[in-house]
Amino acid sequence: RTIRRKKYTPGCACPGNKGIITALGPAKLIPYSRYGASIWIHILIRKYRFQIPVARILKNLALHGLSIPPGSAGDGLKRLAPLFEPVYAALEERSEQAAWWQADETRWSVFETTKTKSTFRWYLWVFISDESVVHVIDPTRSARVIEEHLGCVVGGILLVDRYSAYKSYAKKHEGIILAFCWSHARRDFREAGLKYEQVREWAHEWEERINALFHLNTLRVQYAEGSAAFTREDIRVREAVADMKRIFGEQRKQPRLHHSQRSVLKSLDIHWEGLTVFVDHPEIPMDNNGSERTLRNPVVGRKNYYGSGAIWSARFTAVMFSIFETLQLWEINQLEWLSDYFRACALTGGKPPADITVHLPWNIKERKEKTWKYCGRVFSESEVTCIRSIIDEDSSRNRTAISRIACEQLQWYKPDGTVKWQSMRQVLVKMEADGHITLPPLLRAHSTQMKPIEHTERTAMGEEILL
């Protein structure tokens, strides 16, 4: 059966009539390309988020009836790379504005040689701050990479392992404070205990001390800084750190130390200042496991597709890793973000939009507030701040009055329309116990003591009771 489309011709000869006009198609991400934005989103998500090789992605698409030549896929990704450069530059700028960072690095293969690099071994770096994640792929593992990324930073805290490049960078910048990882210090004791049986018990004792320090700091950071509960736990952390310093100082003076003990304690002493940065800066974690977890996903990609085939591909890989990890940090759907961004690029003729601020993660979504659950109701950080202001604005209020006002301002009512002040009073007591607020002292009324009822003889059933 052959179906022939009818040819339409204009039915009049009016002046200015252009005849039948074909409507324009939707704006294309890549001009004159056969493939739309949805195909490239499919490839980008699977390659740089789920670490699936492009060859495997194309084979899967072929099973669904879409055959894309590998050369077309590679050329398309190369043409998409400039679209993400403004976003990557914004991530770098945001990272430089942070007060502290986590950093780490791992090897990455780039199968293209240059005049200054004859091997395929490159390095993938990561710099994590509160609001951005930036990956850098560079031929070297030197302090130059840190210098290029944080060169204009005046001061801050850099949480790292004990690699010498970070120490070299900190020596050149007086405002940079190095915070070292306690997990690496704990690993030293563990490896010594596993290797030498004669120091196994000693190493286990140090592991337990470090574990206890982690636990105490976890308890401390649960409370609001400045609260009574935070102060209590802060004292316990400082006492544990001081006790640990005293113990390793005494052990280093012992004449008959095993060489593994001497080496581990010497390393602990050398890095002690950086290991204890978290004491005065509770916002700094005790370890840099966050940066190592961030590198875990690229390491899976390195295992699956070995690395990057060209220098431009390595750059594009670092850009996409940075964007996807930052979106994950802000809990933004990567697929939806790519769809919106590609739509904006298509409307500008396949170029980056003039204003990318609306596409930056920190402008799309505000950071999720910390919440606490009491008596079946979730209280946000702003609501806890509201309760604090109610307590502070009038010191003469008792707890019942504070509970009633808090219910009215937070709109916590019963089904009959009355405020749930009794439940709120229980919430306030629990908040004070957790260190979030400080309530006025509990005032007790002076009640007259009732005289005990005099005991009488037991009466029989039906007999009159005499009072």
Classify residue 404 as exposed, middle or buried by CB count within 10 Å of its CB (0-12, 13-18, 19+): middle
Rounded Cα distance, 143 and 31, in Å? 41
Q: At 78, phi and psi to the nearest 5? A: -65, -35
**What's the pLDDT score for residue 460?**
60
**What's the pLDDT score for residue 392?**
84
**What's the pLDDT score for residue 382?**
82
**What's the pLDDT score for residue 394?**
85
**What's the pLDDT score for residue 454?**
53
Mean pLDDT per 10-residue segment, the chain (467 residues): 79 76 82 92 98 97 96 96 98 96 97 92 97 97 94 90 95 94 96 95 97 94 84 95 96 92 96 97 95 96 96 98 96 95 94 95 77 86 86 86 90 87 90 85 60 54 56
Residue extents of the structural domains in the chain = 37-82+332-364, 182-280, 371-433
Q: In whole angstroms, what separates CA 150 from the centre of its chain?
A: 20
Report which of 45, 16, 17, 18 is spatially closest to residue 324, judged by C-alpha positions.
45
**What's the pLDDT score for residue 311?**
96
Rounded Cα distance, 57 and 68, in Å? 10
CB environment 318-352: b (16+ within 10 A), e (fewer): bbbbbbbbbbbbbeeebeebbeebbebbbeeebeb
- Walk across the sheet containing 133-138 and list its strands: 133-138, 121-128, 100-109, 156-160, 176-180
**What's the pLDDT score for residue 139?**
96
Is the separation of the CB atoms in 35 and 46 below 8 Å? no
Three-state SS across the chain? CCCCCCCCCCCCCCCCCCCCCCCCCCCCCCCCCCCCHHHHHHHHHHHHCCCCCHHHHHHHHHHCCCCCCHHHHHHHHHHHHHHHHHHHHHHHHHHHCCCEEEEEEEEEEECCCCCCCCCCEEEEEEEECCCCEEEEEECCCCHHHHHHHHCCCCCEEEEECCCHHHHHHHHHCCCEEEEECHHHHHHHHHHHHHHCHHHHHHHHHHHHHHHHHHHHHHHHCCCCCCCHHHHHHHHHHHHHHHHHHHHHHHHHCCCCCCHHHHHHHHHHHHCHHHHCHHHHCCCCCCCCHHHHHHHHHHHHHHHHHCCECCHHHHHHHHHHHHHHHHHHHCCCCHHHHHHHHHHHHHHCCCCCCCCCHHHCHHHHCCCCCCEEEECCEEEEHHHHHHHHHHHHHCCCCCHHHHHHHHHHHHCCECCCCCECHHHHHHHHHHHHHCCCCCCCCCCCCCCCCCCCCCCCCCCCCCCCCCC
